[in-house]
Structure 1
């Protein structure tokens, strides 16, 4: 285990400077036999996609899946990161500078694309620094300007090569370089190296005991110059305190193994060739299958059949995994992810979970910005409809709360608003539910109104009874008649008949029918003792009535 028998210490910082966004990115991994440090600086203006982070993650992902100290493979990993930026350039062209170190804890390989740099210090001096791919570097190589002027030359940002370049991308990849105990390496983006020169770096390293001290001091030196504009800056320092010591006899063993392998190959070479041919044929078949499945997925997406598209993309991605095609793994993987979000959104929408559906649709909406292989307009419609249905659901809940609090008028108003929105959104099932709630609310309101009117009728009836008792028959009739109208209005027919009887009785009292042979009340005043006669007449009438 090389890592356990060596000691590499890392510290880094990455800041936005005087800008809001930091387009720099640094990350590293330390595996058992391989370690890799990558720093990148985004050169584009895209605010949605971080090109530096995308490039770094692509390279580290390849290193993790297939650790290597092969120059050819490392160059391939850088080229795949470059191709990934090209494929993801939807709104603007994604561009980045990059520098990396790969080591087996004994030797290292470094690579550069653009103007990120590696500084290597050994025995208290600058051992070397990587060349960048700017016009200023080219001018220095042709001895038009001194090497020391590159960091300040106006053409230092005029790059001849970078990740995301439209054509002819050629990164610099070094040969294997032996490491020694005590080596110090600094990876830097332009924001740092154009403000801190190699002499200042060397002074900082000589005074520091830990890599954290180096990066902190480098930042202090940069900021102490008080420039009005400070670009994004990143510095990563690696202290090689102890390298892995290889067994000197290992080379002899390796040579012996190679000789044995050559002999075996000579003996069974024919079989090996047949195997390779079959393997190549199988791989070609997998590639063809992957491409066909991806195309099928694209067709289903255009047709709006996302479940079928999801299956095709899943199969295509699995084929890419089998043939270890990392570029297609990422590209198809993104199509799969977008399709999965849409399928999840559709499922949640169908289940009535519109909040979850909206969340899925909005994530997919963000992913498809600038892409032409997905129907952005259809996705916008899904987002808008989800928002409408969420609003309708909220109004329904609001109406339910008002209903529970017996604010039936408020509930009715809210339900009507929800029903109107449901009709506009063609939300048929929701419209039916809202109609049922409206019917229930109106029934409650009608019941309450009936009870209220019944109370009004009963009050009028009691008022009539009181007037009748005080022999004010005229007012009694008026109260009974009004009460009768109220009872008639709310359909209380028995009460209507009851009022009719009371009205008739009061009218009889108001306009009594004289008894046959009785002296009219108008002539009683002409008789002597008229008051007595009048009283007798009333008594007689009363008895007659009884």
Structure 2
């Protein structure tokens, strides 16, 4: 069995309101974390992100034992729930949202994740980045074919153009999920975050702040300070949100 600590950060940034949403649910065996970033350019992004979090957490809670292998399907169900909630003539008429979801079985030491859009999951082991999700974005595609470097991705003028997000017609939606469970261990850390956070941080920032943090809340406080410094004097900078999960040996 693994012990867990979870911390949440969500800031409005320089925007009139926060279109990010996040939440978690747990039982005696499972934990689910969901983070979503409403697409502000479409209107109703705050509604879409809240729907994404609420629907995914409810779907996991309904069938926690087998939800991990079905996570991509649950994301697709959530996409349909957002489409069903659109109302012509209102600001929900074309609402969209990114989403990233992590499900942990802390008895079997397994984790599953899935995402759509450019909200990310980072996985750290022994204080080092062990892997992350790949964005469904135009610029990520350019990185993958070697036309743009990873370092350039964060500041590319077209970095916000998504190839997929919730609110897309089912036959056009791209959902990525880990193939099979990840074997996790005490000391592993996960970070789920929206693009308003990761575009202001590189991998070295994430590892350096993790190394000095004594708790997940400390880690997120350090990340907040970096983002706040990076966006100082920039009007209208994006909302930024994150969820940190730390796994440890339980105190028996």
The normalised TM-score by structure 2 is 0.90
Pairing partner for 1:147 from 147, 150, 154:
150
Deviation at 1:47, TM superposition (A): 5.0
Instruction: Output the CA distance in 2 between the equivalents of 1:70 and 1:147.
Output: 32
Instruction: Output the CA distance in 1 between the equivalents of 2:175 and 2:151.
Output: 23
Q: Which residue of 2 aligns with 1:212?
A: 217
Q: Which residue of 1 aligns with 2:83?
A: 86
Instruction: Output the CA distance in 2 between the equivalents of 1:168 and 1:162.
Output: 10
Unaligned runs of 5+ in 1: 244-546
Q: Which residue of 1 aligns with 2:141?
A: 138
Deviation at 1:139, TM superposition (A): 0.7
Contact 1:68 / 1:74 at 8 angstroms: preserved in 2?
Answer: no
Instruction: Output the CA distance in 2 between the equivalents of 1:42 and 1:115.
Output: 11
Q: Which residue of 2 aligns with 1:107?
A: 110
SS at match of 2:95: coil
Name which one, 1 or 2, has greater alpha-carbon Rg. Answer: 1
Deviation at 1:30, TM superposition (A): 1.4
Contact 1:69 / 1:109 at 8 angstroms: preserved in 2?
Answer: no
Contact 2:69 / 2:112 at 8 angstroms: preserved in 1?
Answer: no
SS at match of 2:134: coil
Contact 2:137 / 2:160 at 8 angstroms: preserved in 1?
Answer: yes
Specify whether residues 49 and 233 from structure 1 end up closer, same or farther in structure 2 by C-alpha distance, changes over 3 A only: closer
Pairing partner for 1:223 from 219, 228, 249:
228
1:171 aligns with 2:169: no
When the two structures are aligned, how many residues end up with a matched partner? Answer: 239
Specify whether residues 81 and 216 from structure 1 end up closer, same or farther in structure 2 by C-alpha distance, changes over 3 A only: same
Instruction: Output the CA distance in 2 between the equivalents of 1:150 and 1:177.
Output: 27
Contact 2:137 / 2:163 at 8 angstroms: preserved in 1?
Answer: yes
Instruction: Output the CA distance in 2 between the equivalents of 1:134 and 1:74.
Output: 21
Instruction: Output the CA distance in 2 between the equivalents of 1:47 and 1:119.
Output: 27
Deviation at 1:72, TM superposition (A): 4.6
SS at match of 1:158: coil
Contact 1:69 / 1:103 at 8 angstroms: preserved in 2?
Answer: no
Deviation at 1:154, TM superposition (A): 2.0
Instruction: Output the CA distance in 1 between the equivalents of 2:243 and 2:219.
Output: 9
Query: What do residues 264-313 of structure 1 show as CA deviations (whole Å, max 9, x unaligned)?
Result: xxxxxxxxxxxxxxxxxxxxxxxxxxxxxxxxxxxxxxxxxxxxxxxxxx
Specify whether residues 153 and 242 from structure 1 end up closer, same or farther in structure 2 by C-alpha distance, changes over 3 A only: farther
Query: What do residues 132-170 of structure 1 show as CA deviations (whole Å, max 9, x unaligned)?
Result: 100111111111112232222222211111101134212
Deviation at 1:49, TM superposition (A): 6.2
Instruction: Output the CA distance in 1 between the equivalents of 2:158 and 2:249.
Output: 39
Instruction: Output the CA distance in 1 between the equivalents of 2:192 and 2:46.
Output: 23
SS at match of 1:165: coil
Pairing partner for 2:240 from 229, 233, 245:
233
Which residues in structure 2 correspond to 1:268-307 (within 5 Å)?
A: none
Contact 2:9 / 2:241 at 8 angstroms: preserved in 1?
Answer: yes
Specify whether residues 181 and 71 from structure 1 end up closer, same or farther in structure 2 by C-alpha distance, changes over 3 A only: closer
Instruction: Output the CA distance in 2 between the equivalents of 1:14 and 1:158.
Output: 22
Instruction: Output the CA distance in 2 between the equivalents of 1:108 and 1:164.
Output: 26
Pairing partner for 1:190 from 183, 192, 195:
195
Q: Which residue of 1 aligns with 2:51?
A: 54
Q: Which residue of 2 aligns with 1:17?
A: 13
SS at match of 1:182: coil
The normalised TM-score by structure 1 is 0.42
Contact 2:114 / 2:177 at 8 angstroms: preserved in 1?
Answer: yes
Q: Which residue of 2 aligns with 1:26?
A: 22
Taking only aligned residues, the RMSD between alpha carbons, in angstroms, comes to: 1.7
Q: Which residue of 2 aligns with 1:38?
A: 34
Kindly indicate whether structure 1 or structure 2 has the higher relative contact order, using CA contacts under 8 Å at least 6 residues apart: 2
SS at match of 2:172: coil
Instruction: Output the CA distance in 2 between the equivalents of 1:72 and 1:200.
Output: 32
Q: Which has the higher strand share?
A: 2
Q: Which has the higher helix share?
A: 1
Query: What do residues 476-535 of structure 1 show as CA deviations (whole Å, max 9, x unaligned)?
Result: xxxxxxxxxxxxxxxxxxxxxxxxxxxxxxxxxxxxxxxxxxxxxxxxxxxxxxxxxxxx
Query: What do residues 315-368 of structure 1 show as CA deviations (whole Å, max 9, x unaligned)?
Result: xxxxxxxxxxxxxxxxxxxxxxxxxxxxxxxxxxxxxxxxxxxxxxxxxxxxxx
Deviation at 1:12, TM superposition (A): 1.0
Instruction: Output the CA distance in 2 between the equivalents of 1:152 and 1:93.
Output: 27
